[in-house]
Chains A and B, each alone.
Chain A
Amino acid sequence: MNLTLKVWRQKNATDHGRIETYEARSIPAEASFLEMLDIVNERLIEGGGEPIHFDHDCREGICGMCSLTINGVPHSKERGITTCQVHMRKFRDGDTIWIEPFRARAFPVVRDLVVDRTAFDRIVAAGGFISVRTGSAQDANALPVPKDDADASFAAAACIGCGACVAACKNASAMLFVGAKAAHLNLLPQGKPEQDKRVLAMVRQMDAEGFGGCTNQYECEAVCPKEISADVIAKLNRDYTAAAVKEAVC
């Protein structure tokens, strides 16, 4: 199939980027989206140009590294998948495809379609963990966890930290990411002792990183490759408020 690509090109973080147009000729319909870019890049290099840079690693939808906004939608309009799982058979011959980086002030562009998502790492470092020294744990079955809680915790823990939620949100809010991490840990009895400290620290770090606020439009939920429910945001609102009240009065 033949396609027209409108791709964001930006030399480095300080460069002013722009959209450039590429013709992608005879692309096999069985190729994945990233393989299509591989083909385009190989031709660019052979023609003396510089390849389009994009983040990718596992190419099986789990590492969270790939991060393209395809026709305005992070990871494309197909539900429940990452960019690396998008296949060209979902496009039609002659289509024009817009490829842009994940856009957010907290995700500065590094080069072309590559963005810096270390803000997420700093949010986790602020409190997205359970403090347990290696070797100090009791027997794993000493503390039963109701299956429903374990399952709900798992559903939130499925987050791969790709940042599509931020990229899709009209406000570039990180609430789904933070909510998922907080819910994963707060739902488990092991996570309870640090719950208040955790949510206060993570939300404050999130705000400090320059993410926007949630306006309950659920674009995040719609593009999340792991289909994490915006329920985790409701829980975060509740847990944060409770923690803030406790902090104020206790």
Chain B
Amino acid sequence: MASNGSPLHSAVPSGPLADKWTKHKNESKLINPANKRKYSVIVVGSGLAGGSAAATLSELGYQVKCFCYQDSPRRAHSIAAQGGINAAKNYQNDGDSVYRLFYDTIKGGDFRAREANVYRLAEVSANIIDQCVAQGVPFAREYGGLLDNRSFGGAQVSRTFYAAGQTGQQLLIGCYQALSKEIARGGVKMYSRTEMLDLVLVDGHAKGIIVRDLVTGEISRHAADCVILATGGYGNVFYLSTNAMGCNVMAAFRAHKRGAYFANPCYTQIHPTCIPVSGDYQSKLTLMSESLRNDGRVWAPKKKEDAEAIRTGRKIAADIAEDDRDYFLERKYPSFGNLAPRDVSSRSAKEACDEGRGVAPTGLGVYLDFRDAIQRLGRNTIEARYGNLFQMYEKIAGTDPYTSPMMIYPAVHYTMGGLWVDYNLMSNIPGLHVLGEANFSDHGANRLGASALMQGLADGYFVIPATLPNYLAGQKPGTVKTDDPAFAEAEEAARARIHQLLSVNGKRTVDSFHRELGMLVWDKCGMARNEPGLKEALARIPAIREEFWSNVRVPGEGANLNAELEKAGRVADFIDFAELMCHDALNREESCGGHFREEYQFTEADDDVKSGYTNPGEAKRRDDAFCHVSAWESAGPGNTPILHIEPLAFEAVKLSVRSYK
């Protein structure tokens, strides 16, 4: 695929894969301790990536300002991760190694991630566990007092460290405590309930941000020697997702509008085990841990009539005879069965529902049944393994999973795409660094379970402290002040935008636009995409934008806590972002990981199907044309963005077709 922009330089060091990070650290610039305190750093976001970066950079001596929209840095959405964090510790002596973690991550990502970044991630993973344990993160332990591990999807070793079903929370609290220590010491100035409205570029370098105090509405300028964005993913573009209500793409998208390239926005992860949507009023989706698939069997009725009867309440699951049940994951993927990877499982559930065999009242839901497991292991065992999850399900869905099967449906969960960064985690804008889910670098087209926490902390604790001086050492500290005309221009633009949002005074609520947009992108750019659908979405989004700016109703004023105003600004960016995402999905004429283009799937005619290696209907990559990162440059709303390509060179691994049969 030809690009219309200039190629990108990833700054990956030369040399053997395993030595790259060490070599890079050895060759990186240093700033002496006395000079570090002269440099100021802005960190936007206080989750695992932002919080760990802010704390660590402050420990090193930089002056840090950290911003988050929540009322406390402890509430960032990293907190909601349940399962665990991977690390190549090989404490289980089961043959794990840095290379194996690297390989599993690259393969899980369907060979669309940058090799060197992923290897570095695997390399520092072990340090993360050491750091977190020293901070007092209460990981699960064995009776001998040593750390326990469990296995997770996409891996054949037990390398996942966990703290019951709250691993994300415990890691974030550890990180928040480290941050609090630095706040108390004066190294970090924390701004909570503060939202970034724009990025400020001075002479092409990121030198500050414009923010709004969400309580007083005050808009202010903050200058620094560099800016770090750790603002999470864009899953809420779909309106319904497992993300927190406040998660948004604003900071990343503002940076994109200022020139930062957005890479692979079409890579979104759909998690297979969420509680189905129950009505129009629904505000978010709840994830049920993937671990349930260890004992639960996923099925849908074979006959449409049975499904119809269940939907209308004339039948219940127990009325369906064994022979009339389709355990579709076990049928299609006999060796992985119910433990097939997330993207594969999600698509299978969608197929069953698309065939009219869905069992939830909306038609969008399949069963996750523990009947056989309860018979085999006894209710007590199941209760010990999943008691809290069953309870959670009952609270939300109102039915008892011990007696009637759970209903599940896939939901947007994580976004692999993000701002393009080089090996130093710096975007194409000098001085703008991007960490965690907000960047694109480590998960390719699909993320493996227990890898998001690992990446956030790797970026914040270990990568950015080492790579930031490569930029900063070339800068004279404190040269940019907030009286620079660039700040005035950005502040004026931010004020004008808020004024505009407040003065439309139309008839429709912000949420109604968000729902409309979400439904459209879920439909056309969700679990399965095709050319006509994407073109249709691209045709409809400008109309939504137009109506939004002429008919949205944002009550209240700017000089007060105003939740509708906050949402309006975020939804306005989601509308523009959705367009970018659809452009990318349309451009990527292949299927890989979370990006499934219906036109590109295996059929009976393919050799890999004939040989039995894979099934018809599986995602088909086109390595000849799309083994690259698509990084998009903004050309203004409504205009087709400009594509820049970073070819992906695989030196250490051989590209292969993923098979989970």
Contacts and interface: CB of A to CB of B under 8 A. Distances in A.
A102 B52 CA distance: 30
Contact of A184 (B91, B138, B180, B555): B138
Contacts of A121: 72-74, 180, 183, 190, 192
A146 B135 CA distance: 17
A126 B462 contact: no
Contacts of A49: 555
B398 A87 contact: yes
Interface in B108-158: 127, 129-136, 138-147
B71 A35 contact: no
B59 A38 contact: no
Nearest to A44: B555
B147 A132 contact: no
B145 A144 contact: yes
Given A30-B278, A134-B59, A85 B164 contact: no
A57 B507 contact: no
B166 A124 contact: no
Given A35-B283, A126-B184, A138-B130, A116 B71 contact: yes
Given A63-B79, A111-B561, A130 B177 contact: yes
A58 interface: yes
Given A65-B71, A128-B180, A137 B77 contact: no
A195 B12 CA distance: 44
A244 interface: no
A241 interface: no
Interface in A135-184: 135-141, 143-147, 150-151, 153-154, 157-158, 160-161, 184
Contacts of B178: 129, 132, 134
B176 A188 contact: no
B564 A147 contact: no
A62 B134 contact: no
Q: Which of A118, A130, A140, A188 has the most CB of B within 10 A?
A: A140
A11 B559 CA distance: 11
Given A110-B215, A137-B130, A160-B169, A124 B177 contact: yes
B302 interface: no
A228 interface: no
Contact of B181 (A89, A129, A135, A147): A129
**Interface footprint category on B:** 35 or more
B396 A11 contact: no
A240 interface: no
A210 interface: no
A121 B189 CA distance: 13
Contacts of A247: none
A224 to B, nearest CB: 15
B134 A64 contact: no
A25 to B, nearest CB: 13
A237 B250 CA distance: 46
Interface in A10-33: 11-12, 28, 30-32
Q: Which of B56, B59, B284, B398 has the most CB of A within 10 A?
A: B284
Interface string B52-71: 10011001000000000011
Contact of A120 (B72, B173, B398): B72
Given A117-B71, A134-B462, A190-B135, 4 more contacts: A42-B511, A121-B190, A144-B145, A150-B145
Interface of B: 52, 55-56, 59, 70-75, 77, 79-80, 89, 91, 127, 129-136, 138-147, 163-164, 166, 168-170, 173, 176-178, 180-181, 183-184, 190, 192, 215, 242, 244-246, 278-279, 281-284, 286-287, 392, 395-396, 398, 461-462, 465, 507, 509, 511-512, 553, 555-556, 560-561, 563-564
18 contacts: A30-B279, A48-B555, A57-B77, A60-B80, A63-B80, A64-B75, A65-B70, A87-B396, A121-B73, A129-B180, A130-B134, A132-B135, A141-B91, A144-B146, A145-B145, A147-B145, A157-B170, A157-B173
**8 residue pairs, one from A and one from B, having the closest CB atoms:** A144-B145, A137-B134, A129-B177, A154-B138, A125-B184, A140-B133, A137-B130, A125-B180
